[in-house]
Structure 1
C-alpha cells in the first residue's frame, strides 16, 4: 500500500476538519480504534452536530458509553441529523427518556447466566459474553445495560480473568454443541487472545460449531484481515453473523471484508434490527436484503427492536414489521427473506403473520399479492394412519 492521502468518503465542507490520512493508516483497524470519536470536539470534525445531539452527548456521560470509528463516521451525512448511520452511532435525547415496560435485560442474559461469561438459554447451545468492548457503541444495542454507568455491569468477575471456569462448564455439559462468542464485540480482541478462546473451545469434543457475533464488517471492516481469517479457518466449522441495518452500510470495504471471510470458508449471515426512522419502510428493507445477497451475505433474522432501557425510542409496532415482511415475501428471492422474531426471556419467538387460515373446507392460503385460494383435504399430505 502507498502512503497516498485518503480523502474522506463523504463530501468535505470547509468548516469540517476531518483528517486526510495516508492510505496505510486508513487500512489499519488499529489506527481507527485509537482514533475513535468519543466527545463533541472530535464529532464536530466529521458532522455538524445539532443542539439536541450535543445535549444528548452531555446527557449520556457517565450513563452510557459511546464511540464511533473514523471509518463509520465517514459514512455519516455531515448535515443531516436523520442520516441512518448517524442515528445508530450518535447519542440522542430519546436514550434519556423513560418508556413504559422498558427493561435493562429483556432477553434474560442475567437470568440464564451460569458462569462469568456463559449464558445457557437453549438446550444445545450457549453464548459466551467475552468482552464489553465495541468499536462503535450502537445506540440501539439490546445489551446496552452492559455499558451502563461507563464501567459496565457485564461481568460477575473481571473481564480479563481466567476462562477456565467457562470452558469447564461447556466441557461438563456435552449437550452443548454450538457456542456463540459475543459481547461487546469478540473481534475487539487481538488475534492472539481470540485464538486462545477459539482453540479452547475447539479442544472440547462435544463442541461442533463455533459462531462469532461481530459488527466489525459493518463498523470497521478493516479488522477482517487475511491473518484473522486464516487463524479462524484453522478451527472450522466457524460461522460469523453480522449486523447490517441499512444499505448505506454496504460499502466496497465491507464487501471486501465479507469476501475475505467467505474465501476462508466462513459463512456470513446477517441479523437486522427493525429500527424506527432507519429502516422501517419496505423500500429500504428490500434494498438492504438484495444488496446483502449481492455481497453473498445471507439474511438471517429481522429482529423486532427490544424494549430496552435507553433503546425504546427506536421501537416500531409489530404491525410495521408485518408490513415490511409482506413487502419482502414474493418480491425478492426466498432465501433473501429473513425470519421476523421477537427476542424474549423464553427465547426468540417467530412473529411473522401466517399466510394461511384453517377452514372447514381446508387451508385458505394467501400469497404476497393478497390472492387467496383454498387447498382442500385431498391435496394435503396424508397422515401416518392414512398411509398404513
Structure 2
C-alpha cells in the first residue's frame, strides 16, 4: 500500500511481505511496525534536525551524483522504495518525485566520473535501486563500467522487505558483473526469515559479497540481546555486520535516536559477547556533512549539551545530547 500520510512529509508505503512480519500494527510495541507506521512524533522537528542531515546536496557534483569521499561516489538512481522507513535520513530525496535516473542524467554523471579518476567505487542507492527492473538497473551499471572498472556497491533493503525481488536471474546477472557488493539494511532479528536467507544465498552463490548496515533505533533494537541475535544471525548466513549507525539528525526522527552514551555501552556489552567477525563498527555521520567516523575513536569529550567528535577533516563536530531512552 502507498499513500501520502497527512502527518509527515514521508509517504506511507509498505510491502505486504514486510507488513506480514509484524505481530501488531502498533509501532509502540512491535519492532517491525515501528519502522513503517507513521507516528505523531514525526511532526516534532528539532532546531538542529535537517531533511538532508549528511550533506548530500552540499557534495552534489552532477545530477543525482554525490562525491563526498575521495575514492567513492554515490549515485541516486531512483527515489522510490518498497517500504518507506520512518527513520529515513534521505528525506530530501526519497519519494520527492525525482523518479528514475534519465539517460541524459546518466551521461552527465559519466562525464564527471571520466574527469575524476580517483573514484574507484560507485554506490547505487536512492530510494532503492532494486525498484528498477533488472534491465534498467544493469544498463546503469554497464554504462558506468564503460568509464572505468568500478567496484559497484548496491545499497538496498529488498532482501529484507521484498526478498522475492532477488531472483536467480538477478543474482546471476550481478554475479556476471563483479566486483560488486550488496549492502543490506537489517535492523532486527525478526527480519532474518527463510525468505531473506534464500535471497542472501542466491547472491552469495553468484559470488556477490554481502554486508549489512544497522541503524540503532530506540524501541526497535536498542538492547544488547537484540543486537547480539541480529549480528550472529547475519554472520551465520554469510553476511558481514559492517556498521551500526547512530541515528542521523534527520527531520522528525528524534523519537528513534538513542544517546551516544547508550550506544557506547551497548558496544561494550557486545564486545564481551561477540567475536570480531560479528561486531560492526559503531559509527555516525557527523552533522552538516562532516563525514562518517567511528565513534569510539573519534569521540573527544562529552559536554552537557553535546558529544564532541573529531571529523575526517580534523575539525570538531558537535552531536547533540538528547534525552536517554527508556526502552
* TM class, shorter-length: 0.7 to 0.9
1:111/1:291 CA distance change after superposition, 3 Å: same
Partner of 1:58: 6
Spell out structure 1 runs of 4+ moving beyond 3 A.
158-161
| Partner residue of 1:69 out of 15, 18, 24 | 15
Cα offsets for 1:264-290 (capped at 9, x unmatched): 000100000000110011111111111
Residue 117 of structure 1, CA deviation: 1.5
Alignment of 1:233-252 (within 5 A): 233-252=175-194
Is 1:352 aligned with 2:296?
yes
Q: In structure 1, how many angstroms separate the alpha carbons of the residues matched to 2:168 and 2:227? A: 31
What is the TM-score when the length of structure 1 is the normalising length? 0.73
SS in 2 for 1:141: coil
Tell me the SS of whatever aligns to 1:330.
helix
What stretches of structure 1 of length at least 5 have no aligned partner? 1-36, 40-55, 355-388
CA distance in 1, matches of 2:54, 2:188: 24
Structure 1 stretch displaced more, 344-353 or 230-239 = 344-353
After TM superposition, the structure 1 = structure 2 runs for residues 194-273 of structure 1, keeping only pairs within 5 Å, are: 194-205=137-148, 207-273=149-215
Closer, same or farther in 2 for the Cα pair 1:151/1:348, shift >3 Å? Answer: closer
How far apart, CA to CA, are the structure 2 residues paired with 1:324 and 1:231? 39
Distance 1:250 1:301 in 2: 17
Aligned twin of 1:167: 110
Task: Give the whole-Å Cα distance in 1 for the aligned partners of 2:50 and 2:296.
Answer: 24
Offset from partner CA, 1:282-311 (integer Å, 9 cap, x none): 111111111111111110000000110022
Gapped regions of structure 2 (runs ≥ 5)? 299-327
C-alpha displacement at 1:145, in angstroms?
2.1
* Relative contact order, higher structure (CA 8 A, sep 6+): 2
2:318 corresponds to which residue? none
Normalized per residue, which structure has more strand? 2
Native 8 Å contact 1:306 1:312 kept in 2: no
- Give the CA deviation at 1:79: 5.8
Preserved contact between residue 282 and residue 328 of structure 1 (Cα < 8 Å): yes
Q: What are the superposed Cα offsets for residues 312-341 of structure 1, whole Å, 9 maximum, x if unpaired?
A: 221110011001101111311111100011
Instruction: Give CA-to-partner distance per residue, 1:120-174, whole Å, 9 cap, x none.
Output: 0011110001110100011101102223xx644x58xx74352111112112211
Structure 1 range deviating more: 187-196 or 167-176: 167-176
Q: Which has the larger radius of gyration?
A: 1
Q: Report the aligned-residue RMSD.
A: 1.9
The corresponding residue for 2:251 is 309
User: 3-state SS of the aligned residue for 2:265?
Assistant: helix
Note closer, same or farther for the CA distance 1:330–1:97 as it changes in structure 2 (3 Å cut). same
Provide the rounded CA distance (Å) in 2 between the counterparts of 1:178 and 1:134: 23
Residue aligning to 2:314: none
TM-score normalized with structure 2 length: 0.86
Map of 2:234 onto structure 1? 292
Q: Hey, what's the Cα distance between the residues in 2 that align with 1:173 and 1:98?
A: 38
Task: Give the drift of 1:88.
Answer: 0.1
Structure 1 residues 258 and 138: CA distance shift in structure 2, 3 A? same
Q: CA deviation at 1:236?
A: 0.6
Matched with 2:86 is 139
Select 1:94's aligned residue among 30, 41, 49.
41
CA contact (8 A) 2:31 2:220 kept: yes
> Which deviates the most, 135-144 or 100-109?
100-109
Separation in structure 2 between the aligned mates of residue 235 and residue 353 of structure 1, nearest angstrom: 36
Contact 2:25 2:37 in 1 (8 A): no
Instruction: Provide closer, same or farther for how the CA distance between residues 79 and 132 of structure 1 changes in structure 2, counting only shifts above 3 A.
Output: closer
